[in-house]
Each structure stands twice: as structure tokens, then as C-alpha cells.
Chain A
Amino acid sequence: MARAIYVTACALGALVLATVATGAASETGVTSSQVVIGGTVPLSGNASAYQSVAKGAAAYFRYVNAHGGVNKRKIKYIYKDDGYNPANTIDKTRELVQQDKVFAIFNSLGTEHNLAIRGYLNALKIPQLFVASGATTFGRDYKQFPWTIGYQPNYRAEGTIYGRYVAKTNPKARIAVLYQNDDFGKDLLKGLQIGLGKKAKQIVAKQSYDVTDSNVKPQISKLKSKKANTLMLFSTPQATIGAYFAAYSIKWRPKVYVNAVSSASNILGLATAGSSKKETEGSVSIVFLKDPTDPRWRRDPGSKLYRSIMKKFKGGNPNDVYAVYGMSAAHTFVAALRKAGKNPTRASIMKAATSLNVKNDPFLLPGMAVHTSKTDHFPLDQAKLQRYHNGHWVSFGGLFRVR
């Protein structure tokens, strides 16, 4: 029923579009010399640290433009401030669509924020490309929302990996979970339960915290009291550092699994400084980007390219892993645009975005591919496990698929 209603709405939207975009030859936002795309990020307010994602992407587009653009078209990337408020995301996205006449929405940031605009963009058949959120719905619900595609490994899949890994390597583990009380934390938790399968009973305690209050000492103390020996940190960087510190201060040394949002080398470095070397030693996480603060990549050509682009094209702080993420998303967009033909249309870029097989993304781990298909709207679905040892992440095992 809901789907039927939805289809009707899409049809109505299509009518609008047909009246707006007359003269089929040129597509909205595409001229002979440029392609205009846009997105939203928080430039103001509490979450403004995330703006590095857009700045990294913008730097990469400037780099591409300096090298001739794509099919002689320069990419104009407009990112607007939503202050991390979904109501503003809607306004700014409408502004991008109606005023700036963008070709597509690219890499807008935040789960709730992308959910807020998904219905609107799909009704108008405007591509919502490479959503900067790991919520599963953006890759999974492509039948209902064919104009939306995710980007990073999704949180549920990540949780599943930890679940499987624990089930395999430590079948007697008593697991404690600290999770943020939103979709991000809950998706990871759900994934963990899926990965553990029959062993899900081994989750002996779970505690949530609210985004606005990252003091997690009471939660960690309660988790310890349930005699857990394994701790899942499904939390953002500050709460993660706080959790290590809290565990240290009550003499608890569980085996820690830390989610990818919070596992950048500098974060673990701060966590180590706040607690002790022994507290962070042996922590496990997944990795898919080349972390710029990780000495492993100091000589890596991809990482060097990243640093030179950040410097030359003013991408901001080069030690910010969010910027690498943005750059990788931008790289994927450029690949899709190349593939979308000489005269790209919204339909053709969507088709290109859903038939990608990019193997040369210099910002991803070696060997990783950006792969999509009509039924696979998860561009990044590979990762490696890594272990924190002697103050460094060391990856182990091969690449595997996270679905």
C-alpha cells in the first residue's frame, strides 16, 4: 500500500520535472563547460567538525578541474550549511535544487539529514549520490528509493563483522556494549547481534548514552559490574576516548572493539594518553581508508597525493580523516561522471553510479574496489580488520566483504 502511494507520488513528481526540464538535450545543472552539484554539511554549530568531509571533497574537485575537468566540464561543488539540523537540510537542499539548479546532490552529511531529503529527491528524480552516512537504509532500500545510493561500509555490516569475529575467535566471550542512542549506535548493535547469531546471548550488558552528554563513566562502571570481558564501543570519538579512560580508572581491562567512526590513529592516541598503553593495546576495528595520521601510509603514493591536494587546493587540516573520506567520495563521483557519458543526464549518472567498478581509488586501502550494481547500492563494501599494537594499528587478515 505504502509503496503504491509512493509510486503515485513519484509519478506526480515526474510530471513536475517534465514541465520544468523542457528541451531534452541539456540536463539541469550541466552545460558544455560545467557540472553543478551540491550538498549540505554542518559549517556552524556543534557538529561543525564534520565540514572537513566537504572541504576534502571540494579540494579534490578543484584538483580535477585544474587537470581539465571531466569531458572538458569543470565540476562546481556547492556545499551549504545545515547546522546539523534536518529542517535546515531540507531548506538548503531545496535551495540547491530550485535556485542553484544542481545536477545532483552529492555526499550530504548525516543519517537523519539524508532521510529528511530522500523522499523529496526521489519524488523529483534527482540523484542523491554517495550519502555520507553509514545507515543501512540508504543502500538497502533502493527499490523504494532508486535515486539514492550510500557510500561507506554500513554500520550494521560493521557490527556483523565484529559479531562473527568474536563468535569465531572467542566463543566464550562475555560481551558488553556501549552505544550511542541513535541510529548509528543502534545499527551497529543490531549488526553485532546478527553476527553473533546463536551466540547473541553472550551480550551480557548494554548501555546507551545520549549524544549531548559524552561522560560515560557511569555506563562503563555498570558494564564492568556484569563481569564482561569484551567491550564494544559503538560511540563517537569523544565518548570513545572517555570510555577507555573510564575503564582504566575503574581498573577494567576488557578486550575492546572500537567502531570505524572513532578508530582514527589520533583518537586512539588520545585514548592511550588519557588511560594507559595497556588499556588500548589489542583493540580491534575495521578500516577502509588510508588514515592520514597512520605512519603506515607515510610513503604511500595515494596518501602523498592526498596531502599534496590538501595543501595545493586548500582542503584544510590534512590530518583529518574526514577529509580523506570526502576525497574518496569525490573520487567516486568523478568516476561515475566519466562513466555517465559525454552528455550526462540524471538518469545516466544514476545508472553509472550503480554500475561502478573502480579499482584505483588512491585514498582507499590497497586492493579495495568501489563496486556497485543495480541491486547493490553499497559502494564501499570491503574492509580489513586491524589491531592496535604498540601505539599503531596493524591490519590482519585479508580484505573481506561486508554486507
Chain B
Amino acid sequence: MLFAFDWTQLAQQIVIGLASGGVWATLAVALVLIYRSTGVINFAQGEMAMFSTFIAWSLVHHGFSYWGAFFLTIAISFAGGIAVERAVIRPVERAPVLTVVIVTLGLFFVVNGAARWIWSPETRSLPNAFSTRPITVAGVAFSIQDLGTIAVSLGAVALLWGFFQFTKLGLASRAAALNPEASRLVGVRVSWMLALGWGLAAAMGAVSGMLTAPALASFDQNLMQPVLLYAFAGAVLGGLDSPLGAVVGSLLLGVLVSLLGTYVDWIGSELRLPVALAVILGVLLVRPAGLFGTPQERRV
């Protein structure tokens, strides 16, 4: 049996897995951004990304080029993220974590409903930034789009990393997340730093949505729900507080899901999500903070 093994198929599935993982990575990073700055998981992250994708679609339909729409959407989403934080998160800033989580769940329905309300629920498509023409290398097919997707994800993460590492604002926001009281004393406006976190996450989400829609060739208001689940999983696998972990975790997850669906017949493709989730649970039991996360200290 072994000599009949189809190595091309294995390579092909790994490529497919990396391409989907690359798409999930951006949303996973967005989740991590908010978790790091506020200690909350934003269940509306995917829907916000979907909403951004619809904005991009509208812009393209009003004559913008893809890249013009791309950057304008990122800017709008950034502002939108800040606005959302000010409007609905700030009022519950001091409430228990779970209250904030529930607000994000409410936001999930609000944003989804708004998108259905503004743009009717029908299937549509977003043009591709990159060529989708298949290129074959040693029997394995991939496209510029696949490479472009991964490149944009990594690029966005690199930009973020630079921002947090080298800019004053970035340092201030890290400080605000790590030690709010001390930051406040040295003059950091902590509350606005949280809003900044939301803005950045929304911008990352916009990138994710605009990469996901072309990768599936069509989209509607349900675009990001499966992506959100995979992004959760990817982020948890990598460690909820590590952006790099989120990227690596998502790529690993992409490959894992792709291979599980292909080679374990009993699982088939329909159970790949549950099984992937179970595998992640397994990882968590060994390393509760994920692969790249900081282990939580226990306070007495």
C-alpha cells in the first residue's frame, strides 16, 4: 500500500491547508489583539470583518479599484472599530468579563443584522487582488492568490509587530494592557488605548474578510462564521495572547484540518472541524496557554 501513496496529493493538501490557514490567521490575530488589550474574546470579530467586506464590495461597485477599496475599507474599519468600542464596550468596561463577552455576542447579531438589512442576503463576489490562475510545480497546483494571501497576512502581522515594538503609541498601548494603573500614572490614556486595540483588530478583520471572500469565490452575510471558529481554534492553539502564535497556530490548523479530512476516512470532511477542535483541546491539556502563549500565573 505504501508505495502507492500519492505524494502529490499530500503536498497538494498541505498547500491547500496553508492557504486556508493564511486566511484564518488574520482574523485570529484580530482576536488576539482584543484579548491582549482587554482580556475579552470578541465574538463579533468575524461579523465585523464580514461587514467590512461588504463595505469593500460597495466601494468596488462604486468604481474603486480593488486596492483603493482595500485600503479605504481598512481605514473605515479602523474608525468603525474605535467607534464600536466607545459606543458599546466602554460603558461595560468595569463590568465582569462575562458581561463584556455577552455584549460582543449582542454585537454579533447587531452587525450581522445590519449587514442583511443594508445589503440584501444574496450571494455575491469580490474581485481578486491577485491572479487566481493556477501554477503547477511538480504536480502541485497553487496560485498567486494563495501566496498573496499568506504574504498579506504575514505582512499585516509584521506591521503590527513593528507598531507595538517601535512606536510610542504601540508601547503605550502595550503598557496599558499590561499594567493599567501604572500606565495611567505616567500619563497613558488607558481607555483610549483599549479603543485603539479595537480599531486595530477591526482593521485586521477587514483584511481577513477581504482575503476570505475571494478565496471562496463568493460570499454572503455568513462569510465569516466558519472562519471565526477556525480563527478561535488557531488563536487558542498558538496562545491567545501571542499574535505570532495566532499565525503559526492558524497555519498548523489549516494543514491539520486539510490532512485529517483527506486521510482519515472515518472522519471524512464533515467531521474535520470537530476533530480539529478535539486535537486542540488535547494540546491545551498539555500546554494550557497554547504553543506560544504566556502561562498564566496564579494569584493568591
Contacts and interface: CB of A to CB of B under 8 A. Distances in A.
A219 B125 contact: no
A245 interface: yes
B217 A245 contact: yes
B165 interface: no
B242 interface: no
Given A208-B269, A217-B16, A249-B134, A241 B9 contact: no
Contacts of A348: none
Given A46-B222, A217-B16, A271-B217, A241 B123 contact: yes
B297 interface: no
B226 A213 contact: yes
Interface string B2-18: 00001011001100110
Contacts of A215: 20, 215-216, 226
A207 B216 contact: no
Contacts of B124: 270
Interface in A196-220: 207-210, 212-219
A3 B145 CA distance: 58
B252 to A, nearest CB: 15
B136 A218 contact: no
Given A241-B123, A270-B125, A218 B218 contact: no
B58 interface: no
B218 A221 contact: no
Contact of B220 (A49, A221, A273): A49
A275 interface: yes
Contact of A48 (B9, B116, B268, B272): B116
Contacts of A213: 226, 272-273
A229 B195 CA distance: 54
B143 A267 contact: no
B9 A270 contact: no
B251 to A, nearest CB: 15
A244 B217 contact: yes
B225 A207 contact: no
A251 interface: yes
B16 A218 contact: yes
B216 A245 contact: yes
A240 to B, nearest CB: 9
B199 interface: no
B121 interface: yes
B269 A218 contact: yes
Given A49-B121, A49-B122, A251-B136, A214 B216 contact: yes
Given A238-B218, A250-B134, A48 B20 contact: no
Interface residues of A, number: 40
B183 interface: no
Contacts of A245: 132, 216-217
Nearest to A44: B113
B217 A217 contact: no
Nearest to B222: A46
Interface string A27-63: 0000000000000000010101100000000000000
A98 interface: no
A19 interface: no
Interface in B3-41: 6, 8-9, 12-13, 16-17, 19-20
A238 B220 contact: yes
Nearest to B136: A251
A270 B270 CA distance: 25
B262 interface: yes
B132 A249 contact: yes
Contacts of A217: 16, 19-20
Given A241-B217, A317-B122, A209 B13 contact: no
A225 B269 contact: no
Given A212-B225, A213-B273, A251-B141, A48 B121 contact: yes
Nearest to B19: A217
Nearest to B143: A249
Contacts of B142: 249
A81 interface: no
A320 interface: yes
A326 interface: no
A237 interface: yes
Interface in A68-114: none
Contacts of B219: 238
Interface in A218-267: 218-219, 221-222, 225, 237-238, 241-242, 244-245, 248-251, 266-267
A274 B125 contact: yes
Interface string A302-334: 000000000000001100100000000000000
B261 interface: yes
Interface in B247-262: 257-258, 261-262
A318 B134 CA distance: 36
A212 B229 CA distance: 10
B218 A241 contact: yes
B115 to A, nearest CB: 11
Contacts of B146: 249
Interface string B148-168: 000000000000000000000
Contacts of A144: none
A26 interface: no
13 contacts: A49-B123, A213-B273, A214-B226, A225-B6, A225-B9, A244-B217, A248-B132, A249-B132, A250-B12, A250-B134, A267-B123, A270-B125, A271-B218
Given A49-B220, A248-B132, A274-B132, 4 more contacts: A44-B113, A212-B273, A213-B226, A218-B262
Interface of B: 6, 8-9, 12-13, 16-17, 19-20, 113, 116, 120-125, 132, 134, 136, 141-143, 145-146, 215-222, 225-226, 257-258, 261-262, 268-273
